[in-house]
């Protein structure tokens, strides 16, 4: 870890949602001065500990490193290049770190436009959900020039335990798409297993407990299997956002000429969940689509 970890810096943070709020909080806890901007009011966890800015340009004017954590590619483009966007106030030598999960090709374009202003760019999407964001245990997958990455690594390490530079700009987003493929397929597998076990007459909680000691054990079985059984679908990471990520996977696969049949199936299950009205639920609620197909829930929604 860099020996500059504890050096106070002037940091911008744009996007204080479920993930962004605890991430920004860790930067404040590490002693950095934060300038923030978000839709609506600044959350209580950050308000009073950071300086609220009227727009993204004001954040960029005050900060040397600007973090972005917003939902989708158009949101990042608006933050960077829209009216009163980050680019309008950048001066040479500053760095943009985008922790959003967006299109890798668009990321490369954004980075080139920021580089033309004499500034650095790192794509640094994260994995670990709300639990990981709160615990500062996120996995952070990075793309960018090595020197630029090393300069911001200490900041990333305040928010995550596994911080890896995968390659040049865009490599972080490619890795995040791969991550979301794996996570979606695992959620679908756990959901199918628990629906099967429940409909066959076994106690799904005890089935999960037994499987946790074997080769089928996984973080998804541990965390999201428990959500499926306890019917706790308040988001950590919303179905709608995972839909977006799987759409990115399928679009990229088409452009590469790669077949992703299992990913396509998981994407359709996410679409079914959204059609059933669960788009704002946690992505573990993918099990609801499987339950609808089986006409049998893992557990009734009254179970707690």
Of residues 168, 62, 159, 56, the one with CA closest to residue 108: 168
Instruction: Specify whether 176 is catalytic.
Output: yes
Question: Using a CB cutoff of 8 Å and minimum separation of 24, what contacts does 22-26 make?
Answer: 22/130, 22/133, 22/134, 22/136, 23/67, 23/69, 23/99, 23/126, 23/133, 23/138, 23/159, 24/50, 24/67, 25/49, 26/136, 26/158, 26/159
Can you spell out the DSSP letters for 138-159? EEEEEES-HHHHHHHHHHHTTT
From the list 235, 243, 295, 296, the residue with the least C-alpha distance to 270 is 243
Report the alpha-carbon distance of residue 135 to residue 141 in Å, rounded.
17
**Catalytic hit among 94, 176, 199, 206:** 176
How far is residue 177's CA from residue 154's CA, in Å, rounded to a whole number? 24
Positions annotated as catalytic residues are: 176
């Amino acid at each position: 870890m860099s020996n500059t970890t504890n050096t106070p810096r002037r940091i911008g943070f744009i996007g204080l949602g479920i993930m962004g709020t605890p991430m920004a909080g860790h930067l404040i806890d590490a002693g950095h001065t934060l300038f923030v901007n978000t839709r609506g009011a600044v959350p209580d966890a950050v308000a009073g500990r950071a300086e609220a800015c009227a727009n993204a340009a004001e954040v960029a004017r005050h900060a040397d490193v600007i973090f972005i954590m917003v939902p989708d590619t158009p949101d990042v483009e608006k933050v960077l290049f829209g009216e009163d966007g980050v680019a309008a106030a950048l001066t040479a030598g500053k760095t943009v770190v985008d922790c959003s999960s967006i299109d890798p090709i668009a990321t490369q374009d954004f980075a080139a436009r920021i580089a033309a202003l004499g500034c650095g760019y790192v794509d640094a999407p994260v994995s670990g959900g709300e639990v990981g964001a709160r615990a500062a245990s996120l996995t952070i997958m990075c793309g960018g020039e090595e020197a630029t990455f090393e300069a911001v690594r200490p900041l990333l390490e305040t928010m995550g335990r596994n911080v890896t530079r995968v390659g040049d700009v865009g490599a972080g987003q490619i890795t995040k798409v791969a991550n979301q493929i794996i996570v979606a397929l695992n959620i679908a597998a756990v959901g199918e297993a628990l629906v099967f076990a429940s409909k066959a007459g076994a106690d799904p909680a005890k089935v999960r407990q037994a499987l946790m000691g074997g080769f089928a054990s996984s973080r998804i079985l541990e965390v999201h299997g428990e959500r499926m059984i306890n019917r706790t679908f308040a988001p950590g990471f919303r179905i709608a956002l995972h839909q977006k990520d799987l759409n990115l996977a399928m679009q990229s696969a088409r452009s590469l000429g790669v077949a992703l049949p299992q990913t396509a199936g998981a994407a359709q299950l996410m679409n079914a969940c959204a059609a059933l009205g669960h788009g704002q639920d946690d992505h573990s609620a993918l099990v609801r689509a499987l339950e609808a197909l089986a006409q049998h829930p893992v557990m009734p929604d009254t179970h707690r």
